[in-house]
Structure 1
Amino acid sequence: MTTHRQALLLMVIAPALWSIAGVLTRQLDAARGFEVTFWRSLFSALFVAAAMCWQQGWRQSVATLRGVGGAGVVSGLMWCTMFVAFMIALTMTTVANTLIVMSVSPLLTALLAWIVLKQAIPGRTWLAIVAAFVGICWMFVNSLGGVDGNHLAGMLIACAVPVAAAVNLIAIKRAGHGVDLIPAVFLGSVFSACLMLPFAWPLQASLHDIGILAILGFFQLGFPCMLMVRAARSLTAPEVSLLALLEVLLGPLWAWLGAGEVPAPETLVGGGVVVAALVLNEVAAMRSARLARGALQPRS
C-alpha cells in the first residue's frame, strides 16, 4: 500500500516527466501529427506490457488485464483520448497554449467528484472554478485577434484532454483498491496506436525520430502514467489533478529553454489567472486542514 507521502512524491515525478513532451517533440525531423502519436503510443504500450510482465509474469499480467472490467475499459478510452488529443494539439499550437488549456482539469475533476462521488466542494473551490473559467475565456478571446486558425484549432483539440483526464480520475477512484488499473494505461496506448496507424501511414519517421519517440513512449508517457495510477490509490481525485499542474508550469519552461518557443502574452495572462486560482485554492485547503487538526487536539 502506497503511503500518502509516497503518493505525493509519485505525483511530483509523473508531471515532471510529462512536461518534457513539448521540447522533445520540437526536436523531431520528419515525424508529424498522427505518426508522432502512433509511435509514442506504441512505445508506451511496449513499456507498460514489459513492466507488467516483469512485475507479475506474463500469465498473471494477462489475468490482470482481463480483470480490469468496465472501469478499466473506460479508463483506457480516456487515456487514448488524452494521448491522441495532446499530441495532435502540440503539432498545431504552442506547448504553452496546450498546457494552459489542460490546466482546467483540476476544476473539472472537482465538479465530477461532487456529482459522481458525492464529495462536497467548499466555497473556495467554486471561486477557483469561476476564476479559472475567466482565465480560459481571456486566453481564447484575446487569441482570436492574434493567433491563426491552426493555433485555435489546436487549442480546441486540447480541450479534450482535461475532460478525459477528469473522467479518467473518477473512473480510477470509483474502481477502488480492488482493481488494478495500470493495465488501463496499456489499453489506452494500444487503442491510440491502432487508431492513429491508418492516418499515419505511410510512416516517415527517421531513426533519429524513432529514438526520440521511444523516449517519449517509455519515460514521458508509459512510466509516469503508471506512477499516477499508483498514486491515485492514496490521494483524492482533486489532489491528483492539482499536483498534475506541475506539468503546466514546467512544460512551457522546457519549450522556451530547449526550443526557443516564447509563450504569447495572452497565454501568460490567462494561464496565470488559472494557475493562481488553483494554487490559492490549494493553499486555502491546507490552511483549513491545519485549523481542523488544531480544533481536534485536546486542550490542557
Structure 2
Amino acid sequence: MALRFQEQYGGTDETIGFWRFIVSAALTLVFGIVTAGGVSKLFSTLASSACGLAVASALGICTQSGFYYSLMLLDPAKAFLFISLSPVWAAIQGKLLLDDDLPQRTVVTMIVALISVLVAMVPDLLRLFEHGWEAADGSERVLLLIPFMTGFAMATLTSWARYCGTRWPETDLTTTGFFASLGSCALFYASLHRRDGPEIDLTGGLQLGFWGWLILSKAGTTAFDVSMFHAARHLKGAEVELIMLGEAAFSPLWVFLAFGETPTAWTLAALGLLLLALAGHEVAGMHAQQA
C-alpha cells in the first residue's frame, strides 16, 4: 500500500528503490545508536559482533533486494504467498543445523501455508493444463523465483540470528539493516547506471507526500527487522517466520481499503486459508499451555 502511495506522489521504480534503502539505513543507524547508548558504544558493539553482522548483512541484502523486486515486478498478493514459504525453509534449517524439534501444530500450519500457495496458483495451473505450457507467460514463471528465493533468504537470516543468539549471545545484530540497506542501495544504484537511456533524476518530481509515506513505511520495516532479530533469540526459526506471515495475510486488505483493488477469488481463498492456519496455530498453542 505504501509503495502505491509513493507512486502517486511522484515516485518511480527507480526513486522508490533508491530512497527506500537510504532511509532504511538511516533509521536503523539511529536506532542502533540509541539502543547502544551512544556512538562510541555502538562501535564497540560492532567490533564484537563483526562475524555475525557480516553474514547477516549479506543475507539482508538478498532479503531486501528480493522483497523490493518481488513487489515491483509481480502481483503483491502472489509475491507474498511465495515468500510465505519461509517457515518451511526455517523448519528444515532449524532441524538440520540447530536440532530444533517442532510441535505438531507448527508442522500442520506449515503444510497449510504450502497448500495456500498452490491455491493461489490454481488459475495458472488450469491454464497450463488446458492450453499447454507454451500458453503460459514464461517471463512471469522466471520472476516467481525472486519471491521464492527471498523467502529462503528470510528463513536463513532468521536461522542465523537464532544461531548467533544461542552460540554467541554477545552478538548484536541490531544494525544489520544499516549494512544490508547500504549494500542493497549500492547494487541498485550500479544497476541503474548499466541501463541504456537518459540519466535518471533521483529527486525530480518527488512531492512531500512521497517522503511521508516513505519514512512511515521504512519505520515499520525497521521495527519489523529489529523485532525479528530479538524474537529469534527466544523462539524457533519456523515459529518466527509463521508470525511474520501475518504480513502476507493483511497486505491485500490494505491495498483493497486504500485503492479498491480486489484480489482474485483464488487469492482471497488462499489468504483466508493462511490466516485461519495462523489463528489455529495460536489457539492450539494456548490449549497446549493450559493442558
TM-score (norm 2): 0.80
**1 CA distance for matches of 2:216 and 2:150?**
18
Match of 1:230, SS? Answer: helix
2:25: which partner in 1? 45
Q: 2:190 aligns with which of 189, 194, 198?
A: 198
**8 Å Cα contact 2:67-2:150 kept in structure 1:** yes
Provide, for residues 171-228 of structure 1, a one-character-per-residue CA deviation record: whole Å limited to 9, x for no partner.
1111113211012121111111111111234344532275156415641332332233
Verify: 1:256 aligned to 2:256, yes or no: yes
Verify: 1:290 aligned to 2:290, yes or no: yes
**8 Å Cα contact 1:172-1:229 kept in structure 2:** yes
Provide, for residues 216-251 of structure 1, a one-character-per-residue CA deviation record: whole Å limited to 9, x for no partner.
564133233223323433433333222212212221
Structure 1 moving runs of 4+ over 6 Å: none
CA RMSD of aligned residues (A): 2.7
Q: CA deviation at 1:64?
A: 1.9
Verify: 1:127 aligned to 2:127, yes or no: no
Q: Specify whether residues 37 and 216 from structure 1 end up closer, same or farther in structure 2 by C-alpha distance, changes over 3 A only.
A: farther
Q: 1:165 aligns with which of 119, 132, 154?
A: 154
1:70: which partner in 2? 51
Q: Specify whether residues 150 and 253 from structure 1 end up closer, same or farther in structure 2 by C-alpha distance, changes over 3 A only.
A: farther
Q: Specify whether residues 154 and 90 from structure 1 end up closer, same or farther in structure 2 by C-alpha distance, changes over 3 A only.
A: farther
Verify: 1:83 aligned to 2:64, yes or no: yes
**8 Å Cα contact 1:181-1:229 kept in structure 2:** yes
**Aligned residue identity for 1:207:** L
Q: CA deviation at 1:166?
A: 0.9
1:12: which partner in 2? none
Q: 2:75 aligns with which of 80, 91, 94?
A: 94
Match of 1:207, SS? Answer: coil
Match of 1:226, SS? Answer: helix
**Aligned residue identity for 1:44:** S
**8 Å Cα contact 2:28-2:177 kept in structure 1:** yes
**8 Å Cα contact 1:37-1:83 kept in structure 2:** no
**Aligned residue identity for 1:269:** A
**2 CA distance for matches of 1:265 and 1:217?**
28
**2 CA distance for matches of 1:280 and 1:138?**
19
1:281: which partner in 2? 281
- Structure of greater relative contact order (alpha carbons < 8 Å, 6+ residues apart): 1
Q: Specify whether residues 27 and 290 from structure 1 end up closer, same or farther in structure 2 by C-alpha distance, changes over 3 A only.
A: farther
**Aligned residue identity for 1:142:** P
Verify: 1:182 aligned to 2:162, yes or no: no
**8 Å Cα contact 1:92-1:153 kept in structure 2:** no
Q: CA deviation at 1:120?
A: 1.0
**1 CA distance for matches of 2:248 and 2:239?**
15
Match of 1:182, SS? Answer: coil
Q: Specify whether residues 132 and 223 from structure 1 end up closer, same or farther in structure 2 by C-alpha distance, changes over 3 A only.
A: closer
Q: CA deviation at 1:262?
A: 1.6
Q: CA deviation at 1:263?
A: 1.1
Aligned residues: 271
User: After the TM superposition, which of the residue ranges 162-171 and 125-134 deviates more from structure 2?
Assistant: 125-134
Q: CA deviation at 1:143?
A: 2.9
Q: Specify whether residues 154 and 24 from structure 1 end up closer, same or farther in structure 2 by C-alpha distance, changes over 3 A only.
A: farther
TM-score (norm 1): 0.78
Q: Specify whether residues 62 and 289 from structure 1 end up closer, same or farther in structure 2 by C-alpha distance, changes over 3 A only.
A: same
**1 CA distance for matches of 2:117 and 2:160?**
26
Provide, for residues 126-169 of structure 1, a one-character-per-residue CA deviation record: whole Å limited to 9, x for no partner.
33333332322232342353985565555431112221111111
Q: Specify whether residues 155 and 35 from structure 1 end up closer, same or farther in structure 2 by C-alpha distance, changes over 3 A only.
A: farther
Match of 2:23, SS? Answer: helix
2:241: which partner in 1? 241
Q: CA deviation at 1:26?
A: 4.9
**8 Å Cα contact 1:81-1:164 kept in structure 2:** yes
**Aligned residue identity for 1:190:** L
Provide, for residues 83-105 of structure 1, a one-character-per-residue CA deviation record: whole Å limited to 9, x for no partner.
11111111122222222222222
**1 CA distance for matches of 2:44 and 2:26?**
17
User: After the TM superposition, which of the residue ranges 177-186 and 122-131 deviates more from structure 2?
Assistant: 122-131
Q: Any stretches of 5+ residues in structure 2 without a counterpart?
A: 129-135, 194-199
Report the identity percentage: 25
